[in-house]
Structure formats: C-alpha cells, structure tokens
C-alpha cells in the first residue's frame, strides 16, 4: 500500500531499484533471477525463502534461529555483518546456484516436513509436553512485567527481541483497531533499524 512512497524515497536516494507488482512464484518473470534476499530477523514461517530454494535460487539470509532450517542447503549464503552480506551477495552474482540434491528436494517437500514432525512427536515424553516451572515463570513475566510500559520494552530488548522490542506504544487506544500496515509503519518509526542489535562474527563467508 505504500509502494508510491517507497519509489519516491528510492528515487531521492538515487537507488537503482526496480519495483514490480505481486508476482506468482511460478511466473516467467522470476525465472530470470538467481538471488533471493531475506534480511528479516523476525520471520517465523520463511515460506518465501523455501520457495526460492525450491526454484534453484541462491538465498542470502542472516544467521538467525528462524533461518536454521535453511543452513543445510548448499545455495544458502548466510551472513552476520553488513560487510559479510555484501561479500555473500557478490559471491552469488559471480557464480551459479547448485542443482538441488535428492536430499535437499526431500527436505523441501511435504513428505520431508511430515518426517520432521513425526520425529519430533515420537521423541516427546509426557514431561516434555507438560508446562514446567520455567514455562509458568515465563508466562507470568510475559503477562505481567512485559505487558506494557518502558520496563517491558527494556526487558524485551535485553532478552533479544531484536527490532520489535519497543511495543509499549501499542497499548494506546488508537492502535487497537488500526490496520496492520499502519502498525508496521509506526513500529519502524518507533524502533529504527539502526537500534536493532547486530551480532558480529569472524567466520568467513560461505561460498
């Protein structure tokens, strides 16, 4: 919904960017590209990353728990720092993605997902699924201390909430029925990307 504003900002910064309308992942337009970039630190589904891998693309993603599943693929190029991101992007532009192996295809299939689900369930015991004292304590902290106010914001930031740590402003009445796009825009303004913690690593880029 804010495409026009993004285009104006890109032009003002003299960025060489092309903007396309929503495109089906099987469309001919996307076949011309070989690199997919997902810089998100808070994605919990990452289906677009999986689709890009299934299409035989390079994926450039941050080393983050939400991306752990993708580290098994040869076409995944992880990074920790802005400098490493640029190195990985250049490596992708200078080479061609590896064809998916049979194991990688299996991992991206519904059969592979079912296998992982059954393995996780079969390894569970009753004590694994029942709430522990730590679970109850965490729930209490989330429902009380972190419920709102600057103290909750600071606790979220200290516990690694990343770019979404500042949430106390959401308790205001005007945001309770606001459209998601307005909430996201306000969230970005409330917590600029520069305030998000960045992890450093001396690990060399993966080729």
Instruction: Tell me the pLDDT tens digit for each residue of 106-133.
Output: 999 999 999 999 988 887 777 777 888 8
Contacts of 79 (CB under 8 A, 6+ apart): 60, 61, 62, 63, 85, 87, 88, 205
What pLDDT shows up at residue 75? 97
What pLDDT shows up at residue 168? 78
What pLDDT shows up at residue 89? 95
Question: In the chain, which stretches have pLDDT less than 50?
Answer: 194-205, 207
Nearest CA-CA partner of 44 in 132, 164, 174: 164
What pLDDT shows up at residue 193? 52
């Amino acid at each position: 919904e804010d495409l026009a504003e993004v285009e104006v900002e890109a032009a003002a910064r003299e960025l060489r960017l092309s903007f396309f309308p929503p495109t089906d992942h099987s469309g001919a337009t996307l076949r011309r590209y070989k690199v997919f970039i997902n810089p998100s630190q808070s994605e919990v589904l990452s289906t677009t990353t999986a689709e890009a891998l299934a299409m035989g693309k390079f994926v450039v993603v941050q080393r983050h728990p939400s991306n752990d599943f993708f580290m098994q693929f040869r076409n995944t190029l992880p990074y920790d720092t802005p400098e490493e991101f640029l190195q990985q992007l250049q490596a992708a532009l200078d080479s061609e993605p590896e064809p998916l192996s049979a194991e990688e295809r299996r991992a991206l299939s519904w059969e592979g997902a079912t296998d992982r689900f059954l393995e996780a369930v079969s390894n569970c015991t009753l004590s694994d699924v029942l709430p522990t004292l730590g679970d109850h304590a965490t729930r209490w902290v989330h429902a009380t201390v972190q419920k709102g106010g600057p103290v909750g914001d600071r606790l979220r930031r200290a516990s690694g909430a990343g770019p979404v740590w500042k949430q106390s402003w959401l308790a205001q009445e005007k945001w309770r029925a606001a459209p998601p796009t307005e909430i996201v825009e306000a969230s970005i303004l409330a917590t600029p990307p520069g305030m998000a913690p960045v992890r450093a690593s001396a690990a060399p880029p993966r080729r």
